[in-house]
């Protein structure tokens, strides 16, 4: 009989620690809602002690997302645990996840603590967390490089102290599948009380083996797996949720295990996370990459035409990629558009949101002959990611050429005022960015700029992603248009608006504190 694997999603905690990723409150809530639709069992919402913003984000998710367990991370320190509990206590099912390192290298150089002191701290942390919260998870950081005998001792003590979940991290992605499977087997055989708790794993992808290690762990008795959408996370990232889940589903004949993930929501979750974080999915990424279901070889195409199972071990529909037979264009009506939204899985949009999306669809249809599913998804995602627009683009003009100095004129509106400026630059994008800076009276530190076509063809919808930095915080902006200069300007202004929103929220919090 099949056994269930619990999916612990840490996109909003470990995933947000990816270099260059910084999400605001609205973006975190939007991802959390989609993770709830996806069916994750546990949602790690953040690390509340790190900042006011992280604390408020975790608390908002705990208040509004009701189906999954909501957990917050805390070091084995009373102050961290108090802050985590304050953030998650309003959740329908709260959990505190506390951790301390157990490897010799971490204890000696990072913690500067003796093993005996680490053991004592672990027990104190679990007991204290359990006195506050009904569910407690304990992680021995860098478990895969810890001495097995000491690791067993710490785990046994944590269970006796009240831990409900024991999580084994491969913190630096050092382990191999055979090693990691053996580690999990050893824990099950040598730790008293391990059968009374859920055994979990958290694998990093530094050597590209996070999913393989996670699969080896469940083969050896782990029943919770910690992962992220698109494999986001520190350094090379974490085990990718979509890869792990689809491996279990596709090879259920081998693993005999299942999850409660609604796999048809995978693709939409992946694209949402990609859009909001500004981290694009590589084309050859397993399961959700643009090439995952593309077949160019003549031999492969011939086989597919004869029987899809020749070269496809899972269907596009199984992850939510629907191949529609209806072509939408400028003559398409609202009914056909709503039908397409339903086919794409956008069943939770309000009437106003549908009306707004339909108007954007009609505007786009005037600019290009056919509107594809990916265009519609981009329009919906653009609507979802909107924030209060302090700064708005009213008009722009570009003069550029291979023997001219690029110049740009822009007209912006800002809180009822019209701002106009002109500037030169090294190319049209640089010129329009400089003109926006001058008009808004801001000094913006541009960290990254990217442009890509969402679809193919000369009339393709272009997507620009911009990252700017202020006081060590990164703000990602996104803009779409059939005109790549307009898309770039929209993305730049979107990032600036996020920065301005963050400034106003910080100011409001400071006033409340006073």
Q: How does the average pLDDT of the chain come out, rounded?
A: 90
Token pair of 275 as six digits: 């859009």
Q: Facing residues of 475 across strands?
A: 468
Residues 362, 482, single domain; the answer is: no
Residues 25, 171, single domain; the answer is: yes
201 — phi, psi (to 5°)? -135, 155
Residues 377, 438, single domain; the answer is: no
Model confidence, pTM:
0.85
CATH number for the domain that contains residue 256:
3.20.20.70
Sequence-separated (6 or more) residues with CB below 8 Å from residue 508: none
Distances (CA, A) of 333 to 344, 355, 460, 509: 17, 12, 21, 46
Distances (CA, A) of 269 to 33, 172, 277: 10, 26, 12
Pairing of strands 165-170, 198-203: parallel
Last residue of a domain, one of 277, 306, 330: 277
Determine, yes or no, domain membership for 314: no
Structure confidence at residue 246 (pLDDT): 98
Residues 399, 357, single domain; the answer is: no
Residues 109, 221, single domain; the answer is: yes
Determine, yes or no, domain membership for 83: yes
Q: How confident is the model at residue 350 (pLDDT cuts 50, 70, 90)?
A: confident
Residue range(s) defining the domain that contains residue 490: 391-513
Tell me which of 148-162, 207-221, 373-387 is least confident: 373-387
> Do 493 and 487 contact (CB within 8 A), yes or no?
no
Q: Facing residues of 408 across strands?
A: 398, 423
Distance between CA 431 and CA 405 in Å, rounded? 9
Distances (CA, A) of 3 to 116, 223, 227: 37, 8, 19
Distance between CA 186 and CA 197 in Å, rounded? 16
Q: Facing residues of 199 across strands?
A: 166
Last residue of a domain, one of 384, 416, 437: 384
Residues 80, 194, single domain; the answer is: yes
Determine, yes or no, domain membership for 329: yes
Q: How many domains does the chain divide into?
A: 3
Residues 415, 453, single domain; the answer is: yes
Structure confidence at residue 386 (pLDDT): 63
> Do 147 and 104 contact (CB within 8 A), yes or no?
yes
Q: Where are the alpha helices (DSSP H) in 278-350?
A: 298-306, 334-343
Q: How confident is the model at residue 304 (pLDDT cuts 50, 70, 90)?
A: very low
Determine, yes or no, domain membership for 37: yes
Helix (H, G, I), strand (E, B) or coil at 451: strand
Residues found in the chain: 514
Helix (H, G, I), strand (E, B) or coil at 426: coil
For residue 431, pLDDT over 70 is answered with yes
Beta-carbon count within 10 A of 501 CB: 18
Distance between CA 140 and CA 135 in Å, rounded? 17
Structure confidence at residue 301 (pLDDT): 43
For residue 101, pLDDT over 60 is answered with yes
Residues 330, 353, single domain; the answer is: yes
Higher pLDDT, 194 or 291: 194
pLDDT > 90: percent of the chain: 67
For residue 35, pLDDT over 90 is answered with yes
Q: What is the mean pLDDT of residues 436-450?
A: 94
Structure confidence at residue 385 (pLDDT): 57
pLDDT in tens, 72-98: 999 999 999 999 999 999 999 999 999
Residues 426, 497, single domain; the answer is: yes
Determine, yes or no, domain membership for 292: no
Higher pLDDT, 311 or 512: 311
Structure confidence at residue 313 (pLDDT): 84
Determine, yes or no, domain membership for 373: yes
For residue 299, pLDDT over 70 is answered with no
Q: Where are the alpha helices (DSSP H) in 39-114?
A: 52-64, 78-88, 104-106
CATH number for the domain that contains residue 453:
3.30.160.270
153, containing H or E segment: helix 148-161
Residues 166, 218, single domain; the answer is: yes
Structure confidence at residue 378 (pLDDT): 75
Structure confidence at residue 340 (pLDDT): 78
Residues 212, 111, single domain; the answer is: yes
Residues 326, 429, single domain; the answer is: no
Token pair of 199 as six digits: 């055994």
Q: How confident is the model at residue 383 (pLDDT cuts 50, 70, 90)?
A: low
For residue 341, how many C-alpha atoms fall within 13 Å in the half-sphere facing its CB?
A: 23
Determine, yes or no, domain membership for 293: no
Determine, yes or no, domain membership for 97: yes
For residue 302, pLDDT over 50 is answered with no
Structure confidence at residue 368 (pLDDT): 75
């Amino acid at each position: 009989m099949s056994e269930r694997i619990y999916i612990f999603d840490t996109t909003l905690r470990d995933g947000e620690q990816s270099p260059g990723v910084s999400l605001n409150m609205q973006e975190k809530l939007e991802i959390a809602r989609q993770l709830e639709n996806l069916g994750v069992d546990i949602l790690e919402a953040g690390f509340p002690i790190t900042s006011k913003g992280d604390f408020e984000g975790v608390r908002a998710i705990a208040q509004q997302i009701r189906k999954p367990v909501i957990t917050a991370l805390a070091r084995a320190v009373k102050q961290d645990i108090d802050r985590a509990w304050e953030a998650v206590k309003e959740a329908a099912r709260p959990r505190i996840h506390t951790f301390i390192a157990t490897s010799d290298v971490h204890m000696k150089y990072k913690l500067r603590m003796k093993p005996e002191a680490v053991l004592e701290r672990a027990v104190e942390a679990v007991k204290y967390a359990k006195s506050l919260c009904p569910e407690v998870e304990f992680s021995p950081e860098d478990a895969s490089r810890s001495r097995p005998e000491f690791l067993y001792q710490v785990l046994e003590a944590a269970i006796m102290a009240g831990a409900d979940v024991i999580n084994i991290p491969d913190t630096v992605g050092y382990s191999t599948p055979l090693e990691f499977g053996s580690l999990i087997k050893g824990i099950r055989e040598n730790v008293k009380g391990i059968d009374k708790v859920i055994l979990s794993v958290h694998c990093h992808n530094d050597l590209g083996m996070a999913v393989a290690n996670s699969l080896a762990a469940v083969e050896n008795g782990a029943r919770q797996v910690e992962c992220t959408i698109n494999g986001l996370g520190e350094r090379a990232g974490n085990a990718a949720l979509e890869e792990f889940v689809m491996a279990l589903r596709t090879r259920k004949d081998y693993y005999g295990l299942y999850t409660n993930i609604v796999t048809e929501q995978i693709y939409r979750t992946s694209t949402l996370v990609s859009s909001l974080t500004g981290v694009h999915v590589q084309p050859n990424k397993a399961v959700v990459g643009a090439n995952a279901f593309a077949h160019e070889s003549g031999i492969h195409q011939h086989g597919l035409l004869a029987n899809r199972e020749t070269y496809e071990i899972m269907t596009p529909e199984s992850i939510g990629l629907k191949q529609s037979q209806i072509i939408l264009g400028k003559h398409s009506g609202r009914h056909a558009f709503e039908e397409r939204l339903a086919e794409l899985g956008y069943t939770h949009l309000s009437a106003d949101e549908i009306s707004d999306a339909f108007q954007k669809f009609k505007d786009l249809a005037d600019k290009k002959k056919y509107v594809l599913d990916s265009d519609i998804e981009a329009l919906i995602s653009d609507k979802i990611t909107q924030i209060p627009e302090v700064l708005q683009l009213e008009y722009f003009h570009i003069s550029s050429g291979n023997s001219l100095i690029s110049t740009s004129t822009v007209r912006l509106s800002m809180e009822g005022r019209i701002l106009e400026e002109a500037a030169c630059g090294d190319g049209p994008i640089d010129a329009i960015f400089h003109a926006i800076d001058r008009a808004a009276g801001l000094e913006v530190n541009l960290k990254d700029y990217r442009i890509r076509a969402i679809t193919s063809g000369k009339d393709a919808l272009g997507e620009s992603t911009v990252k700017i930095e202020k006081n060590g915080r990164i703000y990602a902006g996104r803009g779409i248009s059939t005109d790549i200069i307009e898309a770039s300007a929209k993305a730049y202004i979107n990032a600036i608006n996020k920065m301005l929103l963050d400034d106003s929220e910080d100011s409001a919090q400071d006033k409340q504190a006073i």
